[in-house]
Structure 1
């Protein structure tokens, strides 16, 4: 059991805290993914996570995992992804790390995409508002200063509800993939991603 002495969680919020991108923190202070990923990872291990909380009295999280003796980790064969070229569509690439933007831009151009680049969520939203009619897909880092990827995507979809979004995260790959309740027409991939995998994910959404 994990306990805290914070302000507690209301009954209404308790039904939402495990949803991806749900957060009560101010803009730029949280992604709303921490509990969702923990919940997904525990479910992946056939466990259960429950919350017990009263407003003004803190919260407690009960985690139950099955006991496995002498378990051997299954060997995983390396997966190879064939490159799939684009058809000249425009992609908005958003990441706060300069080298990730530069490499990503080069990769996308080599895959035959036009590329717009932003360094954080706020800049991405501004670029999207100015160019949404020509942007076919958005690749968003989840954790960024000023405005995270989840909130940025929500704002973009207010003007273009069907724009496909790829959320990229540096969290542990298994935990990231466990967080499966994503908005429609969106996919979560773990960084660093393979070029072949990225190329196929893009085509799947387009």
Structure 2
């Protein structure tokens, strides 16, 4: 396993516990260090306390501040972090947030697509 990849840290922000668990397990098997938070407010607090995050996988629709409402805050707190929007709402595909993100992945694309994008961007 690539030791540089082992050092890459990813936080998943998604209110669906099953998706969080699936992504965390898959990302860790691929050699990434991961954490999950269930809403935008938790994500902001997490990023404030963990300045070395390489990528954020961000659901757009969550309780307690969704991805849209925290997008700019993520960029200001963690400007070096790659932001990957991971949503089931395809209507957002052409939104300003999706264009500003480093990648847009529909939830139907699954873990394989996330790993592919992470390998390209990290």
TM-score by length of 2: 0.85
Alignment of 1:122-201 (within 5 A): 122-132=41-51, 134-172=52-90, 175-177=91-93, 179=94, 181=96, 182-183=99-100, 186-201=102-117
Instruction: Answer yes or no: is the 8 Å Cα contact 2:54–2:80 preserved in 1.
Output: no
* Higher-helix-fraction structure: 2
Query: How far, CA to CA, are the matches of 1:125 and 1:192 in structure 2?
Result: 26
Instruction: Answer yes or no: is the 8 Å Cα contact 1:140–1:167 preserved in 2.
Output: yes
Query: How far, CA to CA, are the matches of 2:111 and 2:55 in structure 1?
Result: 16
User: Displacement of 1:191 after TM fit?
Assistant: 0.7
Instruction: Answer yes or no: is the 8 Å Cα contact 1:176–1:189 preserved in 2.
Output: no
User: Displacement of 1:123 after TM fit?
Assistant: 0.4
User: Displacement of 1:180 after TM fit?
Assistant: 6.3
2:8 aligned with 1:87, yes or no? no
User: Displacement of 1:102 after TM fit?
Assistant: 0.8
After superposition, the CA RMSD in angstroms is 1.8
Where structure 1 has 5 or more consecutive residues not aligned to the other structure, the ranges are 1-85
2:36 alignment counterpart? 117
TM-score by length of 1: 0.52
Q: Residue 158 of structure 1 aligns to a residue in which SS? A: helix
Where structure 2 has 5 or more consecutive residues not aligned to the other structure, the ranges are none
User: Displacement of 1:194 after TM fit?
Assistant: 2.7
Query: How far, CA to CA, are the matches of 2:37 and 2:118 in structure 1?
Result: 18
Query: How far, CA to CA, are the matches of 1:162 and 1:187 in structure 2?
Result: 14
Alignment of 1:33-52 (within 5 A): none
Instruction: Answer yes or no: is the 8 Å Cα contact 1:176–1:188 preserved in 2.
Output: no
User: Displacement of 1:148 after TM fit?
Assistant: 1.0
